[in-house]
Amino acid sequence: VQLVESGGGLVQAGGSLRLSCVVSGFTLDNYAIYWFRQAPGKEREGVSCISSVDASTHYEDSVKGRFTISSDYGKNTVYLEMNSLKPEDTAVYYCAAEGPILRSGCRYSAIMDFWGKGTLVTVTS
């Protein structure tokens, strides 16, 4: 099983990036895929998630309206489109998988079954 993130990089404030999380070893069905981030000196926080059980999505308040999570079942990939980036979005972004699950929705507090190694996003002012 692997979750491989890509798409991070250096961008100016107001810019955009699209992160990808390619999943291998299982299909997205009956899994919830999460994006977490960890900024230097800060605890890891949940950013967004998408559940295949009910197709629900969730966003942390600070990214609502700027970030969009989506999934491509054919490519077994989850994306995080990030627009209007701010310096405070600077962090290592990780994707994680919870499942297989039967319940709907996402729970950032749940124990994740698999993690990627992360991709660094740096937003300059």
For the stretch 20-78, pLDDT in tens is: 999 999 999 989 999 999 999 999 999 999 999 898 999 999 999 999 999 999 999 99
For the stretch 63-103, pLDDT in tens is: 999 999 999 999 999 999 999 999 999 999 999 999 999 88
User: Tokens for 17?
Assistant: 């990036």
CB-based burial, 90-102: b 16+ in 10 Å, e otherwise: bbbbbbbbbbebe
**For residue 21, how many C-alpha atoms fall within 13 Å in the half-sphere facing its CB?**
30
User: Tokens for 92?
Assistant: 């290592």
